[in-house]
Amino acid sequence: MPGAETDTPWQSRFGSSLMRTMGSPLRMLVRGEGAYVWDDEGTEYLDFLAGIAVNSLGHAHPVFVDAISRQAATLAHVSNYFSTPPQIELAERLKRITGAGVGGRVYFCNSGAEANEAAFKLARLNSSGTRTKIVALNNGFHGRTMGALSLTGKPAMREPFEPMPSGVVHIDTTIEALESTIDDSVSALFVEPIKGEAGVLPLPEGFLRRARELTEQHGALLIVDEIQTGVGRTGAWFSYMHDGVVPDAVTVAKGMAGGFPIGSLVTFGWASDLFTRGQHGSTFGGNPLATATANAVLGEIESAGLVENAARRGTELRAVIDGLESPLVEEIRGQGLLIGIGLTEPVAGQISDGALANGLIINAPNDSSIRIAPPLIIGDDEVRVFAERLRRAFDAVVAD
């Protein structure tokens, strides 16, 4: 029928053309500015998910727009047979802000999963024949490609795609489990400092420090997945800094270029000598467009004091949630601007739906957890609007 396709609502066009890997999209978004986005009907939303901890500077930030525009008009992509000024600048910057320092090295890729793939290969290079195990945590999330998926501690995600790459062992997130597992047969331990996808679950007190002691003692790599927690989100450049721990490697992605796809693996000390020529690579990885954007975003986070802002606004958002005095709130988890609300009842979906209906984007990683991860730029106004809209979302559920 002529014209039928143009009359089709976007939901049905989406449903007939996109791979069925995700549920139905919540809205059709067409524009963003600062911490706000608008849908195709002109409705405004306060975006306190930020593309899952990605839009560090919010939407359409002039620094982000300028960097992409200027670099696209200068030099967008070359191959890895060549270097470019923004690539080296970003590698040096990452060594500085991660604390990897002069002995550090940086590998660039295009996503979080790819950063963990590189880290997985790094772990294999620490095998020396006898180290057959890689240890990761139950309920952890490291991405969807096969290596990253094998590290992910959710059996239901892995099972349809078995067999997995071999050698990964998942343990409970307890110091006892660490002590009984980390030995000379382990090449690496992968840890998320706060388990974002699991509902913003922090590690037990002292876990990361004990992990550092044990991995060091046994020659295993401590690899920290900072893909969600990194780049200032928790009120430190990287979350391990809160514990005074120095890892052997860290994976970075999500918020690093504020919405432009990029990922990286940063190694510290002896871990920087494991990869040798020809052992890994990516066509797009580290191209000038991505690295110039990341430099601009990281530079703005630094010069605008957004790491400190994340700590300060995080405290304010916690006070807002506390102030709801809702019987549905069991606990408030997380750090800085990565906040989880643990609920007393499995109504997280209803609350995030109610929030959306009231112009607030938050998310329910599971039935009893709400995740809040706003842009790092939020100020007094955004906190106030969040408070109003969150209260309406909770009130709607209580009234049901």
Ligand X SMILES: *Cc1c(COP(=O)(O)O)cnc(C)c1O
Annotate 280-304 with b (16+ C-beta within 10 A) or e (fewer).
Answer: bebebbbbbbbbbbbbbbbebbeee
> Contact with ligand X (CB under 6 A): which of 45, 64, 141, 260?
141
Is 240 an interacting residue with respect to ligand X (CB under 6 A)?
no
Tell me the C-alpha distance between 35 and 55, whole Å: 9
> Contact with ligand X (CB under 6 A): which of 84, 228, 239, 309?
228
Q: Which residues contact 130 (CB under 8 A, 6 or more apart)?
A: 184, 185
- Closer to ligand X by CB, 64 or 141: give it: 141
Q: How far is the CB of 48 from ligand X (least distance, A)?
A: 17
95 as an active site residue: the answer is no
Is 142 an interacting residue with respect to ligand X (CB under 6 A)?
yes
Choose, from 48, 120, 141, 386, the residue flagged as catalytic. Answer: 141
Is 285 an interacting residue with respect to ligand X (CB under 6 A)?
no
- Closer to ligand X by CB, 16 or 283: give it: 283
* Cα separations in angstroms, 127 against 103, 167, 274, 347: 21, 11, 10, 45
Q: How far is the CB of 165 from ligand X (least distance, A)?
A: 16
Task: Retrieve residue 346's tokens.
Answer: 């499995």
- Closer to ligand X by CB, 113 or 397: give it: 113
Phi and psi at residue 203, to the nearest 5°: -75, 155
- Closer to ligand X by CB, 226 or 300: give it: 226
Contact track, ligand X, 157-196, x by CB under 6 A: -----------------------------------x---x
Is 225 an interacting residue with respect to ligand X (CB under 6 A)?
yes
Q: Find, among 47, 90, 53, the residue nearest to 226 by Cα.
A: 53
Q: How far is the CB of 271 from ligand X (least distance, A)?
A: 19
Contact track, ligand X, 319-358, x by CB under 6 A: ----------------------------------------
Q: Under rule CB under 6 A, how many of the chain's residues touch ligand X?
A: 15
Tell me the C-alpha distance between 212 and 207, whole Å: 9
> Contact with ligand X (CB under 6 A): which of 119, 137, 201, 253?
253
Task: Retrieve residue 15's tokens.
Answer: 């449903």
225 as an active site residue: the answer is yes
Q: Which residues contact 360 (CB under 8 A, 6 or more apart)?
A: 45, 46, 48, 385, 386, 389, 390, 393
Q: How far is the CB of 361 from ligand X (least distance, A)?
A: 17
Q: How far is the CB of 104 from ligand X (least distance, A)?
A: 20
Task: Retrieve residue 63's tokens.
Answer: 């620094």
Task: Retrieve residue 354's tokens.
Answer: 């109610």
- Closer to ligand X by CB, 150 or 326: give it: 150
- Closer to ligand X by CB, 241 or 397: give it: 241
Q: Which residue has the tokens 């195709």?
A: 40
Tell me the C-alpha distance between 337 and 307, whole Å: 10
Q: How far is the CB of 384 from ligand X (least distance, A)?
A: 29
- Closer to ligand X by CB, 253 or 328: give it: 253
> Contact with ligand X (CB under 6 A): which of 55, 98, 111, 234?
111
3-state secondary structure of 261: coil
Establish how many alpha carbons lie within 13 A of residue 104's alpha carbon, considering only the half-sphere containing its beta carbon: 26
Q: How far is the CB of 133 from ligand X (least distance, A)?
A: 20
Choose, from 95, 120, 207, 225, the residue flagged as catalytic. Answer: 225
141 as an active site residue: the answer is yes
Is 227 an interacting residue with respect to ligand X (CB under 6 A)?
yes
Strands of 277-379 (E only): list them.
329-335, 338-343, 360-361, 363-366, 369-372
Tell me the C-alpha distance between 274 and 296, whole Å: 30
Catalytic residues: 141, 225, 254
Query: Which residue ranges make up the site for ligand X (CB under 6 A)?
Result: 111-113, 116, 141-143, 192, 196-197, 225, 227-228, 253-254
